[in-house]
Amino acid sequence: MTTAPHLFQPVDLGGLRLKNRLVLAPMTRARAGQQRIPNSLMAEYYRQRAGAGLVITEATTISPQGNGWNESPGIYTDAMVEGWKETVAAIHAEGGSVFMQLWHCGRASHPSFHGGQPHVAPSAIKLQAEYIHTPKGKEPHVAPRALETGEIADIVADYRHAAQRARDAGFDGVEVHAANGYLLDTFLQSKTNHREDRYGGSVENRYRLLDEVVTAISSVYPKERIGVRLSPNGVFNDMGSPDYREQFTYVAKQLNQHRLGYLHVMDGLAFGFHGLGEPMDLAEFRRWFDGVLMGNCGYNRETAESAIAAGLADMIAIGRPFISNPDLVERYRHDWPLNPDADVADWYSPVGAKGYTDFPTYR
């Protein structure tokens, strides 16, 4: 008998009957090749982990402008759609459900990804980090170009087109990546958004782009098949704003009015904490969002079970343990030991099956 009974209860998500409350968290794994087209190796990776109640794909760029990570996949060409169909079919064949995470890297990109042209962001503020991995190797970060107001409608349209292509590929839903210092997160946060137009200044204006993106995507998927990911505590990609609590409280309240499928909150501090006040926890978001709430970052079986049993979360996304344990759900269910942690050098490297699909299931 499992010692974590709440984790293995089914849950309804937008009409999908999910078999448990464990989620394969989106993790960039850089196996799509230089053309960014999903392939059979990726399909096998996701098939192996389809025991999760919900699979969320690695971040998938919505347009060439959104690229900023070597050999990550996209969803903006017909070939990409065809490539993703194999992954979707593999997950569905295992009785799983899958959402695509939609991504625009924004200021966390580099001109080397864009033929030497500047990458874009809400404001021309350089990401303060030592270097970025580009197609040319390690390069220093440079300041992005601030988007013109008239360009923003095109980005909203790119999100809608990406959602349509995800639907064409068979995905059950989509997650909007508005976390971790990528484009939508940098619009939300005062540290990175110094705009003086209707997309900057107040908490309401900084939220505007995310609201427009969710509204546009809801013309493709019903809102109960749309999730949004936030990282209110995060420092990844040089983030953290003094007014984070005011901003993310407002965002949660507004997203609640959209009646989304779920809100995915990186409440854990395993990626670092900006330390600008007390961390925002799931209990705080539970006050403002009454739909399915998903926790993430640093959870294990015991803490995931505890969060769900206490009513703080409805689902918990697990990342790194899923890398080296494709059968993590069954290991959690039966209290089986976990494989040794994967070699960090293989996590994000385009090295084929090694450190990707070669981990054993429990014997």
DSSP-assigned beta bridge partners for residue 226? 174
**Is 182 noted as a catalytic residue in this protein?**
yes
Q: What is the 3-state secondary structure (H, E, C) of the chain?
A: CCCCHHHHCCEEECCEEECCCEEECCCCCCCCCCCCCCCHHHHHHHHHCCCCCEEEEEEEECCHHHCCCCCCCECCCHHHHHHHHHHHHHHHHCCCCEEEEEECCHHHCCHHHHCCCCCEECCCCCCCCCCEEECCEEECCCCCEECCHHHHHHHHHHHHHHHHHHHHCCCCEEEEECCCCCHHHHHHCCCCCCCCCCCCCCHHHHHHHHHHHHHHHCCCCCHHHEEEEECCCCCCCCCCCCCHHHHHHHHHHHHHHHCCCEEEECCCCCCCCCCCCCCCCHHHHHHHCCCEEEEECCCCHHHHHHHHHCCCCCEEEECHHHHHCCCHHHHHHHCCCCCCCCCHHHCCCCCCCCCCCCCCCCC
The single residue of 46, 159, 182, 299 carrying the catalytic annotation is 182
Catalytic positions are: 182
